[in-house]
Amino acid sequence: MTERVVLATRNSHKVDEVRRILSAHGVDIEIVPLPDDAPDVAETETTFAGNALLKARAIAEATGLAAIADDSGLCVDALNGMPGVLSARWAGRHGDDVANLQLVLGQMADVPDGRRDAQFVCAAAWVVPGEREQFVEGVLEGTLAHAPRGSNGFGYDPIFVPLGYALTTAELRPDEKDAISHRGQAFRALAQVMASR
């Protein structure tokens, strides 16, 4: 029987990406949309794993179904690891991708190429009510471009160049990005955990 799992996000790009990654790894689940009346869970923890577990726990409790959630972001070495867990609201309003990206570019304007190292980090959590909790992490190393390039991604994808690549993650095809991305790594690891249950 196919297990129904709620994905704790209202971000349609993330829903598509997670469905693609999990289905490619043979996990027999049906991803159920987040109900309209589901609580908006404030990301109040100081780590990606803490926020992912917080969201998964709250949605599992609200729906009575297993829930998966992630928290992910950009950690820039020259900015002391920021925006980090504040990535989605770095410019002040949650989910304003353009403003967040432009703020990071402005903060990095005078930083030379040799000091533009950054990482995409993703923690993914799976909570089965009354049964188990699990989280995994994925990290993609790279550098920051000086200007946005590409239209295949979202968030900071247009300025993130993975280590060993000349293209930004927004210039990669979705399958190419999934193969190396922080979210791809985390959800592939979570798929293995879910499949072995």
What gap in Å lies between CA 71 and CA 48, rounded to an integer?
5
**pLDDT for res 1:** 56
Residues recognised as catalytic: 71
pLDDT of the chain, 197 residues: tens digit per residue: 567 899 998 877 777 778 877 777 777 788 888 888 888 898 899 999 999 999 999 999 999 999 999 999 999 999 999 999 999 999 988 778 999 999 999 999 999 999 999 999 999 999 999 889 999 999 999 999 999 999 988 899 999 999 999 999 999 998 899 899 998 899 889 988 887 76
Strands 160-162 and 132-144: antiparallel
* Domains observed in the chain: 3-195 (3.90.950.10)
* pTM for this prediction: 0.89
Closest CA to 74 of 159, 172, 15: 159
The sign of the CA dihedral 128, 132, 133, 135 is negative
d(CA 124, CA 64): 19
What is the signed CA dihedral for 140, 146, 149, 152, rounded to 10 degrees? 30
Please report the pLDDT score of residue 111 as a whole number: 97
Give residue 72's pLDDT.
93
